[in-house]
Amino acid sequence: MSFIKTKDGTEIFYKDWGSGQPLVFHHGWPLSADDWDNQMMFFLSKGFRVIAHDRRGHGRSSQTFSGNEMDTYAADVAALTAHLDLKNAIHIGHSTGGGELTRYVAQYGGGGRVAKAVLIGAVPPVMVKSEKNPGGLPIEVFDGFRTALAANRAQFYIDIPAGPFYGFNRPGAKVSQGVIDNWWRQGMAGGAKPHYDCIKAFSETDFTEDLKRIEVPTFVMHGDDDQIVPIADSALLSSKLLKKGTLKVYPGLPHGMCTTHPDTINADLLAFIQS
């Protein structure tokens, strides 16, 4: 198993497979690098080098008491990319990982390190409702997440994938127990405290200025039936803030569309990467 140690002593687990142009995958909350298995296997077969890490507090990385916020998450990614000496990399982030990617590319993506970026069901610009963001979700939604996590994390981590994350609560949905169990497995491998803190990080961090600073071509992919990160206050806004943003909306697809519709997502990712 491969780890790097950051300046504050946190151990970050990562996978690094293959050779060729590097693709770096940033996972969602409260998951791990394993959430990208389908994409990593697909792009490995296409001749790319595929890399994914477990965010601090998640998966096999250290269950950190502190640093569970976007500036530190981005710094951890910078430490990993420097360790691996990645150049001309394409960064792909889902959900919370899209926020981490946005902060990383805005702050550390210069000098030829980043060639392109992809935001999938991503949390930017900002999720929580405020005077400046009237279309956001009320803070009570995220307070509810925190209450449920603290009360019974194990049950909460069944309810999310069994319901809105993959759209399994929709009429006629083809439910996969294996997908639900795998989400639970990944979530429970991480730490309760960092997961609790990360709710604030993914919901309240404002990425508006980060999006404006990104210079590289960025592909924004979002399902219009995303019940976790509603499209109207995320992708539709982010794509307008990006200098070189391209938006693609997926009718009827859920938040976890990389898992439920991998053939569609992988084909579009490949087309963007090769464009």
For residue 271, CA distances in Å to 6, 46, 118, 239, 274 come to 34, 12, 12, 18, 5
Query: Phi-psi bin for 204: left (phi > 0), alpha (psi -120 to 50), beta?
Result: alpha
Residue 174 near residue 256 (C-beta atoms within 8 A): no
The predicted pLDDT at position 129 comes to 97
pLDDT tens sequence across 197-248 = 999 999 999 999 999 999 999 999 999 999 999 999 999 999 999 999 999 9
Q: What angle do CA 108, 110, 116 make, to 5 degrees?
A: 95
Could you give the C-alpha distances from 67 to 3, 62, 141, in angstroms and in order? 18, 11, 23
- Determine the pLDDT at residue 247: 98
Q: What is the dihedral of CA 212, 213, 219, 220, to 10 degrees?
A: -40
Supply 109's token pair: 């993506």
Say what the pTM is: 0.98
Of the listed 95, 203, 234, 239, which one is catalytic?
Answer: 95
Residues 6+ apart with CB under 8 A from 177: none
Report pLDDT digits (tens) over 114-144.
Answer: 999 999 999 999 999 999 999 999 999 999 9
3-state secondary structure of 226: coil
| CA distance to 30, 80, 103, per residue, from 84 (Å) | 25, 6, 19
143 classed as catalytic:
no
Residue 13 has pLDDT above 90, yes or no: yes
Spacing of C-alpha 166 from chain mean position: 15
- 95: annotated active-site residue: yes
> Is 275 one of the catalytic residues?
no
Q: Is the separation of the CB atoms in 120 and 266 below 8 Å?
A: no
Whether residue 1 is predicted with pLDDT greater than 80 in this model: the reply is no
| 74-104 pLDDT, tens digit each | 999 999 999 999 999 999 999 999 999 999 9
Instruction: Give percent of the chain with pLDDT exceeding 70.
Output: 100
pLDDT digits (tens, 9 = 90+) for 34-84: 999 999 999 999 999 999 999 999 999 999 999 999 999 999 999 999 999
Q: Mean pLDDT throughout 104-115?
A: 95
Cβ-Cβ contacts under 8 Å for 16 (sequence gap 6 or more) = 2, 49, 50, 51, 84
- 247 — phi, psi (to 5°)? -105, 135
Cis peptide before 194 (omega within 30 of 0): no
Percent of the chain with pLDDT over 90: 99
For 106, residues 6+ apart whose C-beta sits below 8 A from its C-beta are 207, 209, 210, 211, 213, 214
Name the active-site residue from 26, 91, 195, 255.
Answer: 255
Query: Residue 166 carries which side chain, given as an amino acid letter?
Result: Y
What mean pLDDT is predicted for residues 164-176? Answer: 97
Catalytic residue among 35, 226, 234, 239: 226
Q: What is the mean pLDDT of residues 170-192?
A: 98
What is the structure's pLDDT at 142? 98
At 116 the three-state DSSP class reads strand
What residues contact 63, with CB distance under 8 A and at least 6 apart?
57, 190, 191, 193, 194
